[in-house]
Every structure is written in C-alpha cells, then in structure tokens.
Amino acid sequence: MTHLHLNPTVVVVADDEGYLAYDVGTGRLWHLNPSAALVLELVEEGCDLDQIHMALAPILGADGWPSCRTWIESSVRDGLFAGEPSPTTGEVGAPDRLRALASELRGRDRVLGAYICQRRATELAPDDPQIWYELGELAHIVGRRVVARNAYERYFDHHPDDAEVEHLLVSLRDETPPARVPDRCIRQLYSRFSSFYEENMRDELGYRAPELLRDAIAAAAGNRRGLAVLDLGCGTGLSGELLRPRAGRMVGVDLSPEMIERAERRGLYDALHEAEIGSFLASPSCGSFDLVVACDALIYFGDLGPVLRLARQRLEPEGLVAFTVERSDVGPFRLTDSGRFAHHRDHLFDAADAAGLVVESADEAILRQEYGSPVPGLVVVCRAGPDKSS
C-alpha cells in the first residue's frame, strides 16, 4: 500500500482544530487533529506513503513517524482511506444528496454526522439560502456557535424579514437582548410550530412543565376549587387542561392566532384572547383572578420584574401567581442561543419581592429534553404579598 485515496463515502469538513470526517456508509466519525488533517490533505493531493513520510518528518521527528504510520494503517482498516480509488467516487458529493442525508441523520439523532453533511452541502452550493438556514440549526445543535452565526447571517442576507433568525442572531452576535422576545418572532415561531407543537413537546421532548406546575399549585392551594384562573401564554391548552379542575372560570391569553385556535378546539376556556401578555394584564378590561399561571411562557421574557408587577395587580387577596422558567447559573437572566431566556434563582426572588409577591416555592426540575439533553427549570409559586403598585 503506497498510494492512498480518501474513501468516496467519507465526507470531510474543516473544524476548529483540524477536520471532521464522516463515513455516510458506515456512520463512522473521525475528529482529525492537525497532524491527521495534514495526512488527509496530502492524501487528497495524491501523495504516496513515502511522500507523506517526507512531508511529516520535520514536524513529527524520527520518533513520531511510526505512530503516524500506525494511525494511517488503522484508518485504512476503519475505512477513512482506501488503497485503491473507488469507481463510486462522487456518489455522496451532490449537495441535494448531502442535504437529504443530513436531514435523515438529524431525524435519527446522528447530529454530528448531519452537521458534517450539511456543512459540505453549503460548500458545494453556497448560493442556496435554505442550505445555510439548515446549517445554522445543525451548527447550533452541535455547539459550533461561530458557524451557526455565519450560516444564519448568510441566510438572513436573503431573508431579512425572518424575525426568528433576526432574533437568534442577537444572541449569536452577543448583542444586548431585548426586554422580551419580539412579538413578530413569537408569532412566526408558533405559526410554524403550532401544527406539531403537542406531538413534539409531549412525545419527542418529554415536556412535563404542566404537570410540575399543577403539583406545585396543589401544594400551595390545597383544596381550593372554583378559582378564577388566568392562563398566560396558554398555547394549545396543555397547561390549561390540568388547571381546569380547579377553575370556576378560566381565561387564556396568547399572541399566536394558530395556538389560540387549537386552544379553542379544546373547549376548556371561558374566554380566549389573542393578545400580548403584558398588554393584556395592563388593560382595564383584564379583570382579577385567584390564580395567574404562565407555563413555559416567561421563557420569552428577560427581566421578570415588570410582568410580575402587572400580574400582582390582577390578583385577588390570597391569590397565587405560578410559572415555570428555564434555570440559569448566571444571574440575573440571559438570552441563550436557543433564543429563549434563562433565569437565575435569585432573580425570581428579587423580581417577586419588588412586585409585591412572596415566593412560596421555587423547585428545581427538568422541564423537558432538548437535543438529547435535559432542560433544567424552576417551578415557582408566589402568593400575593404587600401591594407595591403605588
């Protein structure tokens, strides 16, 4: 074996320090360090084993070559390199094929392989904005932040009206976050998401914030029934369904018409309003409630002070405000690369206190999964304290 060839079913892309290589035939992955990356470049230039040895000798020294040679031999056995050129060269090379592979691999949670295929597709078809969008998603999933930012920027150049990508770029560029996720972004996100929201959250992501909140409310509210309940960011009614047994009257509020429409079909709510949470709470027609709930909705708000203050003003005496947020170890809160906010535990207590609420419980829990990792959260119940509105 003096001449080597890159196995034609292997896709290679540059990475932070070296290359990533993925065999679409066997699913095998290689992280190539700078020396291995150099070997690969020399192989691709058509160098034989002697030429590779000569090129690497000054870098590796006399002692380094035997282990490099052993690595090359094992890479032939593992299928990175082949001794003979294959007649199927180019089989996986077309951008559409790579993109289809990326989509299929992502569906099977083989996200690094998907990322490699998608990244190679953008190298081959750099003028297709949609390919860049898909790379942005995959780069975010595998934690390649700079690649994700660059990919979303390339897409955004062609789609400057995309409010979701505009918002993601705020985080990826480390710009100052807005007070809350822009309304236009929420509407676009849930217009796209509404048709598979429940299936995705429940069946694929193990979403259990509604159950966690129901149980936390039960611990604080005991046997109280017939409550006036306000469900902020009610979505399709997943949280409302579990609140209904306690409710005499239940009102839902949400920005997304598609989510509201699904909530309506559930037939749980006495009234549903397509409105922004803060604007609704501030409107004179809002009314007052025994229980104000925001299940997985304040993840779209930065500083919780203003919204908790408004919620406090809508509480009956002995009223409760209950909500979940994603937990951050960094205070007081931060916009994450997912486009959602995460809050430090201390911020909940500070914001609740300033709003005239007393935190009854703030339990840590896993709210759901995301890309195979748990999403840590806080399940919070507050009681009306001294009114600080004046």
Ligand X SMILES: C[S@@+](CC[C@H](N)C(=O)[O-])C[C@H]1O[C@@H](n2cnc3c(N)ncnc32)[C@H](O)[C@@H]1O
**Closer residue to ligand X, CB minimum distance, 80 or 325:** 325
In whole angstroms, give the CA distance from residue 351 to residue 61. 62
Closest distance between ligand X and the C-beta of residue 355, in Å? 17
Using rule CB under 6 A, residue 295 touches ligand X = yes
Catalogue the E-assigned strands of the chain: 5-6, 10-15, 18-23, 29-32, 81-82, 227-232, 247-254, 271-274, 289-294, 315-326, 333-335, 341-343, 357-370, 373-384
**Closer residue to ligand X, CB minimum distance, 25 or 182:** 182
Closest distance between ligand X and the C-beta of residue 114, in Å? 25
Using rule CB under 6 A, residue 296 touches ligand X = yes
Window of 16-24, 247-255, 282-290, 350-358 that interacts with ligand X by CB under 6 A: 247-255
Closest distance between ligand X and the C-beta of residue 206, in Å? 13
> Of 8, 95, 210, 306, which lies in the binding site for ligand X, with binding defined by CB under 6 A?
210
Mask for 213-242, x = binds ligand X (CB under 6 A):
--------------------xxx--xx---
In whole angstroms, give the CA distance from residue 236 to residue 29. 40
Instruction: Find the binding residues for ligand X in span 162-201 (CB under 6 A).
Output: 180, 186, 190
**φ, ψ (nearest 5 deg) of residue 277:** -55, -50
Closest distance between ligand X and the C-beta of residue 375, in Å? 11
Closest distance between ligand X and the C-beta of residue 193, in Å? 8
**Closer residue to ligand X, CB minimum distance, 276 or 363:** 276
Catalogue the E-assigned strands of 268-372: 271-274, 289-294, 315-326, 333-335, 341-343, 357-370
**Closer residue to ligand X, CB minimum distance, 118 or 328:** 328
**Closer residue to ligand X, CB minimum distance, 135 or 186:** 186
The DSSP symbol for 202 reads I
**Closer residue to ligand X, CB minimum distance, 233 or 302:** 233
Query: Which tokens hold the place of 46?
Result: 């058509």
Mask for 56-75, x = binds ligand X (CB under 6 A):
--------------------
> Of 256, 291, 343, 357, which lies in the binding site for ligand X, with binding defined by CB under 6 A?
256
How far the first Cα of the chain sits from its last, in Å, is 84
* Residue that is written with structure tokens 């559409």 in the block: 96
Instruction: Give how many residues touch ligand X by CB under 6 A.
Output: 21
Separation in Å, CA 158 to CA 148, 152, 163, 196, 244: 16, 10, 13, 27, 45
Using rule CB under 6 A, residue 377 touches ligand X = no
**Residue 239, CB half-sphere, CA atoms under 13 Å: how many?**
31
Using rule CB under 6 A, residue 105 touches ligand X = no
Closest distance between ligand X and the C-beta of residue 99, in Å? 29
**Residue 333, CB half-sphere, CA atoms under 13 Å: how many?**
28
> Of 47, 98, 185, 259, which lies in the binding site for ligand X, with binding defined by CB under 6 A?
259
Closest distance between ligand X and the C-beta of residue 286, in Å? 13
**Closer residue to ligand X, CB minimum distance, 142 or 297:** 297
Number of H helices, E strands in the chain: 15, 14
Closest distance between ligand X and the C-beta of residue 279, in Å? 8
Window of 9-17, 57-65, 241-249, 255-263 that interacts with ligand X by CB under 6 A: 255-263
Strands 357-370 and 373-384: antiparallel
Smallest Cα–Cα separation from 208: which of 351, 34, 376?
376
Using rule CB under 6 A, residue 255 touches ligand X = yes
Instruction: Find the binding residues for ligand X in span 265-294 (CB under 6 A).
Output: 276-277
- 70 CB contacts (<8 Å, ≥6 apart)? none
**Closer residue to ligand X, CB minimum distance, 125 or 218:** 218
Helix or strand or coil: residue 164? helix
- 272 CB contacts (<8 Å, ≥6 apart)? 234, 251, 252, 253, 254, 260, 263, 264
Residue nearest to ligand X (CB): 235
In whole angstroms, give the CA distance from residue 8 to residue 31. 18
CB distance 237 to 253 below 8 Å = no
Q: State the residues that interact with ligand X by CB under 6 A.
A: 180, 186, 190, 209-210, 233-235, 238-239, 253-256, 259, 276-277, 295-297, 300
